[in-house]
Amino acid sequence: MSLADKHVVVTGAEGFIGSHVCEMLVQAGARVRALVWYNAFGHYGWLDAVPAERRNSIEIVLGDVRDAHAMHGLLADTSIVFHLPSLIGIPYSYHAPDSYVDTNIRGTVNLLQAARAVGVERFVHTSTSEVYGTARRVPIDETHPQVGQSPYSASKIAADQLAVSFHRSFDLPVVIARPFNTYGPRQSARAVIPTIITQLLDGDGTVKLGATAPTRDFTYVTDTAAGLVAAATADNVLGETINIGSGDDIGIGELAELIGRLMNREIRIVNDPDRTRPAASEVDRLVCDVSRARNLLDWSPRKTLSDGLTETIAWFSRPENLKRYRPGWYGI
């Protein structure tokens, strides 16, 4: 399927991954309508950071996925939907699980209902590797059991199953893309790579972290965006769930040391109890089996971890970007 002149809606477009997806779609010639979470400040989130020549090609709509009526209007004349909005902070999900149900579950139902009413050609639902919980076998393929080890992951499991049910019950053309840990420019400092980088840029080499033994599979954001776009255009993928990851994992402590070396900084890791998950909620290992993405999407990541980290460090090091963050402040 070609994206040229296709009417495409991206929900969660103001976010880290969503803003990169919007850019990629514009470059592919799609007609992009971007849903940005309504606010009274006139802010378009990370779409404000997209170069003007691309942002001006995007139709920006302020709204909220929790508003079912508005979602029906949003999807008018739409061919393809990229559904990305969700509350993603795992620590905050311990404090406000109701919010995760409202946005991640109810918001997904609203979009699925609207997509069914409109009759879209493709609905790309964005999942997360957190639905797997701690790996029972590695690498993790798409048939791995799902375990809700946090309210966040439980809400995403429910959202994924709703997407599956709409495909099976109503023949909605759904594809579930399941990214592992994405990183890169524009990411929130609640994520581990930005929090390490910003603390090193702002301080004396002390980096406060939670658990450092868990491992994660990291993918650079433009590779993740390319995987999502491929899920929208590939043939013979309807009803499929497809992992998006690198196939390699690294421990959080080892990752911090690598970032320190790339930044030429001496690093001292300090355990911060506020950043530590409850023991039974911590996901100890995530590493992706990427074979289905290679076979069905002809997709694999292009950036090595070192190259991606180097680009990410360079982006955060620019004063105009670093000033958007509060390195000394930890927000759940």
Mean pLDDT, consecutive 10-residue stretches, the chain (332 aa), reads 95 98 98 96 95 95 97 97 94 96 98 98 98 98 98 98 98 98 96 97 94 98 98 98 98 98 97 93 97 98 98 97 89 78
DSSP-derived secondary structure for 272-301: -GGGPPPGGG---B--B--HHIIIII----
Largest CA distance in the chain: 57
Written as six digits, the tokens of 32 are 């992009």
The domains found in the chain, sorted by start residue, are 7-182+219-244 (3.40.50.720), 188-216+249-285+304-322 (3.90.25.10)
Predicted pLDDT of residue 265? 96
Contact yes or no for 5/29 (Cβ under 8 A): yes
- Phi, psi of 121, rounded to the nearest 5 degrees: -85, -30
Predicted pLDDT of residue 332? 78
Q: What are the tens digits of pLDDT across the range 54-104?
A: 999 999 999 999 999 999 999 999 999 999 999 999 999 999 999 999 999
Q: Can you give the pTM of this predicted structure?
A: 0.97
